[in-house]
């Protein structure tokens, strides 16, 4: 584990903050990879890298949901955290094709660096982001700027209609397919029910698919088994899984996960 000092803390949404730090290894990670973040005296939790920057900087973006993430939210620039990693696989980079990216909540953390990398490769992106309300549309401006330089398209969907389409983001995606739009790849990260729906659309319209999964993690190096989904360990075999792999574990994906005590809970 390496200790790093926070160089910047940015509020992204009412309960979501980004934490930037200098770390060469993390800054060179691939979109989709994650780190184990140690919050001194509290806990160690997995977080996607939300910024990968050529100046040696990286960042994580955390929603305050419990003990560790609330403690992280109380930290300021100059505070010290620990990082292990980067771990896990990464999104496959499809060159010069037409892709759909669908994200919601803190799932957008790993999708923002993906969009940045894909635009450099000349990939045409339709990015759909969803939230309950406008303030939950993370990285809306950052992703919009990246896409506008590369003739990409950003479609926002909010459940209350406060911004973009008044719709579930999966409904907005389905509409594009039903209008006859073709894509060479779907990438998704966010609430598991959303990703399940996107997997079904990928099957129906015969599009290759990748989703980033979250499971409870302890070791992050394939030893403890707490992150298992079927025959896979999310920390080592994932966190990115193909549609084919997820169909093999469809009795678990979108249905249940194990908690810190190993018991199954509904997703």
CA distance 126 to 111: 12
- Nearest approach, Cβ of residue 217 and ligand FES (Å): 4
Among residues 43 and 248, whose Cβ is nearest to ligand FAD?
43
Q: Which of 45, 114, 125, 137 binds ligand FAD (CB under 6 A)?
A: 45
Which residue stretch of 71-79, 148-156, 163-171, 219-227 sits at the interface with ligand FES (rule: CB under 6 A)? 219-227
Distance of closest approach, residue 215 Cβ to ligand FES, in angstroms: 7
Least Å distance, CB 198 to ligand FAD, is: 18
DSSP tag of 184: S
Q: Which residue in 4, 9, 27, 34 binds ligand FAD (CB under 6 A)?
A: 34
Out of 185, 220, 229, 246, name the contact with ligand FES by CB under 6 A: 220
Measured in degrees and rounded to the nearest 5, phi and psi for residue 122 equal 85, 15
Minimum distance between the CB of residue 27 and ligand FES, rounded to whole angstroms?
A: 24
Taking each helix axis from N to C end, the angle separating 108-120 and 140-149, rounded to the nearest 10 degrees, works out to: 10
Assigned token pair, 223? 């030893």
Q: Which one of the spans 5-13, 127-135, 185-193, 215-223 is the region binding ligand FES (CB under 6 A)?
A: 215-223
Q: Is 188 near ligand FAD (CB under 6 A)?
A: no
Between CA 82 and CA 85 the distance in angstroms is 10
Q: Which long-range contacts (CB under 8 A, 24 or more apart) does 8-12 make?
A: 8/59, 8/77, 9/75, 9/76, 9/77, 12/61, 12/138, 12/139
**Helix H or strand E encompassing 115:** helix 108-120
| Residue 83 touching ligand FAD (CB under 6 A) | no
Write the DSSP assignment of 44-71 as a string of letters: EEEEEEEEE-TTSEEEEEEE--SHHHHH
- Contacts of residue 41, defined as CB under 8 A and 6 or more positions apart, other chains included, come to none
CB-wise, 180 or 262, nearer to ligand FAD?
Answer: 262
Q: Which residues bind ligand FES (CB under 6 A)?
A: 217-220, 222-227, 233, 235
Q: Which residues bind ligand FAD (CB under 6 A)?
A: 34, 43, 45-48, 61-63, 65-69, 106, 109, 214-217, 239, 259
């Amino acid at each position: 584990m390496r200790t790093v000092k926070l160089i910047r803390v940015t509020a992204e949404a009412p309960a979501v903050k980004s934490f930037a730090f200098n770390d060469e290894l993390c800054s060179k990670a691939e979109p989709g990879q994650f780190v184990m973040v140690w919050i001194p005296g509290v806990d160690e939790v997995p977080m996607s890298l939300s910024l990968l920057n050529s100046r040696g900087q990286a960042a994580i973006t955390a929603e305050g949901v419990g003990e560790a993430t609330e403690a992280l939210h109380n930290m300021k620039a100059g505070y010290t955290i620990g990082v292990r990693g980067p771990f896990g696989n990464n999104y496959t980079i499809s060159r010069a094709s037409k892709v759909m990216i669908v994200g919601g909540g803190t799932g957008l953390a790993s999708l923002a660096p993906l969009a940045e990398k894909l635009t450099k490769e000349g990939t045409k992106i339709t990015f759909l982001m969803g939230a309950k309300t406008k303030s939950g549309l993370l990285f809306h401006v950052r992703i919009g700027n990246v896409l506008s330089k590369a003739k990409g398209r950003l479609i926002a969907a909010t459940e209350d209609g406060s911004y973009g389409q008044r719709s579930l983001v999966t409904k907005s995606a389905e509409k594009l397919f039903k209008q006859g739009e073709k894509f060479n790849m779907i990438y998704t990260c966010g609430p598991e029910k959303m990703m399940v729906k996107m997997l079904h659309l990928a099957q129906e319209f015969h599009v290759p698919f990748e989703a980033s999964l979250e499971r409870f993690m302890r070791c992050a190096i394939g030893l403890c088994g707490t992150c298992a989904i079927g025959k896979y360990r999310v920390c080592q075999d994932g966190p990115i899984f193909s549609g084919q792999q997820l169909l093999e574990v469809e009795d678990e994906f979108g249905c249940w996960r194990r908690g810190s005590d190993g018991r199954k809970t509904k997703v």
